[in-house]
């Protein structure tokens, strides 16, 4: 995880994981992509690294991503 950036754990609730996906994809317009570090969600300059297993884990790599994750956390 990059130093100083946020990690948002969404799960293991299926409803919460689905809500996070819907908000990111439909409301914010994130697009799925593949990167050197695995799966990513990308919207302009904001990139969120995605780890999925029992829980959905979103990792920010920028200050703008941190702000977005804080807002998303409030909506979940």
Q: What domains sit in the chain, N to C, each tagged with a CATH number? A: 7-75 (3.30.310)
Give the side-chain half-sphere CA count within 13 A for 21.
13
pLDDT tens track for 38-68: 789 999 889 999 987 888 899 998 999 999 9
Query: Is-contact 48 58, C-beta < 8 A?
Result: yes
Instruction: Return the pLDDT at 38.
Output: 77
Query: Is-contact 30 41, C-beta < 8 A?
Result: yes
Residue 75 has pLDDT above 60, yes or no: yes
**pTM for the full predicted model:** 0.81
Interacting residues of 33 by C-beta distance below 8 A, sequence separation 6+? 39, 40, 41, 42
């Amino acid at each position: 995880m990059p130093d100083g950036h946020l990690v948002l754990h969404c799960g293991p609730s299926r409803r919460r994981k689905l809500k996070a996906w819907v908000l990111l994809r439909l409301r914010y317009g994130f697009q799925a992509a593949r990167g050197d570090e695995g799966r990513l969600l990308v919207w302009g300059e904001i990139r969120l690294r995605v780890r999925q297993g029992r829980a959905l884990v979103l990792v920010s790599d920028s200050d703008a991503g941190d702000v977005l994750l804080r807002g998303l956390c409030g909506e979940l």
